Amino acid sequence: MGCAARLFMNQDLAQYILQQVRDNYNLCAEEFSRTRSYNWKSVKELTGRYVERGMKILDVGCGNGRLLELLRSKGVDYTGIDSSEKLIGEARKKLEIAVPIVRQGNWKLKQNSGNEEYVRKGRKGEESKEGGEGIERRGGLEKMHGKIPPYPPLRRGGGNFVIGDILDLPFEEDEFDIVFCVAVLHHIPSRELRQKAMHEVHSVLKPGGILITANWNFWQDKYRTKMLIRIPPLTPPYKGVDINGQMDFGDIMLPPFNGKGAPRYHHAFTKLGIKRLFKRTGFRVKECYYEKKGEIAGWRDGANLVCVGEKRRNL
């Protein structure tokens, strides 16, 4: 564990760490899913206050889909997205969703006079089309350019799972009423990429839409000493790459999950830091607090840092 020496992380290193985060979750998906069978009390409380029947909900970093279990009775249109295809696989198994829909990444299937045609819609409304050759039906799956997606998104009872990246969300502008981002932002390395992720979320939220985030609080007493004391070397080589002195302030590395994969990257947000991130990326902060087991807590004993923002109409 350790703090950084330079002002901002090099983007080559940031991309490298981001890939390792994805690889780690694919490596331990089944085991990780078994340890994430419940929703945090704070998340339950937030859904009760913000989620209303008929809303379109996006769960970024959905993992094994546990949030859908909490929302199923609320009559919402739920979409979960995660960059780990193995965790999406766990979500499908756990929730027994088995009806294919025609959406994969930022491609949608349109019916045009009885002919199938894939359309990818850009952020400004432009469309790029591909149809006929290169696309065919096989076993109920859409085949694009010779590759059948390993986990096509599926829907039953308002649930939909998509493999995708928070840094390039495959949705239209102003599409969702609420975006959940639970234990996700702290895995994104570098200020630049965290701001990019927030801009992506801002884009897909409707005007006045709500972003609900929760991140681990590494400044609580049991972690804080490790955050503040630098004892070289700060971390072992990260998959053979020496990252000592190359990370940002508040960046830490946790041991691999149950000894599997690479050390796990986390960014330790402060209350001031998360508020600044929200404001820089077009959100009005509605509430921001530390919590422990669903109760408001102080920064020294809070387990998680919750921040809720509303999308401002104009940046």
Domain of 37, CATH number, reads 3.40.50.150
pLDDT at 114 over 70: no
H or E stretch at 206: strand 205-216
255-290: pLDDT as tens digits? 777 777 777 888 999 999 999 999 999 999 999 999
Determine, yes or no, domain membership for 3. no
Mean pLDDT, residues 241-254 taken together? 71
Q: Which residues is 264 bridged to in the sheet?
A: 254
Q: What's the domain range around 127?
A: 106-151
- Contact yes or no for 132/112 (Cβ under 8 A): no
287 and 216 fall within a common domain = yes
Can you give the pTM of this predicted structure?
A: 0.76
End-to-end CA separation in angstroms for the chain: 36
Number of structural domains in the chain: 2
47-83: pLDDT as tens digits? 999 999 999 999 999 999 899 888 888 889 999 999 9
Rounded Cα gap, residues 105 and 53, in angstroms: 26
194 and 285 fall within a common domain = yes
Rounded Cα gap, residues 71 and 206, in angstroms: 20
What helix, strand, coil percent values describe the chain, rounded to 5?
Answer: 30, 35, 40
Determine, yes or no, domain membership for 6. no
pLDDT category at 153 given cuts 50, 70, 90 is very low
Cis preceding-peptide flag for 152 (omega within 30 of 0): no
* Of residues 38, 46, 99, 100, the one with CA closest to residue 63: 38
122 and 16 fall within a common domain = no
Q: Residue written as tokens 């008929």?
A: 54
241 secondary structure, DSSP code:
B
212 and 304 fall within a common domain = yes
- CB atoms under 10 Å from CB of 96, counted, come to 9
pLDDT top residue among 143 and 52: 52
76 and 133 fall within a common domain = no
Determine, yes or no, domain membership for 226. yes
Mean pLDDT, residues 149-176 taken together? 76
Q: Return the SS3 of 204.
A: helix
Determine, yes or no, domain membership for 76. yes
* Of residues 34, 136, 15, the one with CA closest to residue 83: 15
Determine, yes or no, domain membership for 240. yes
H or E stretch at 284: strand 283-292
Length of the chain: 315
- CB atoms under 10 Å from CB of 21, counted, come to 19
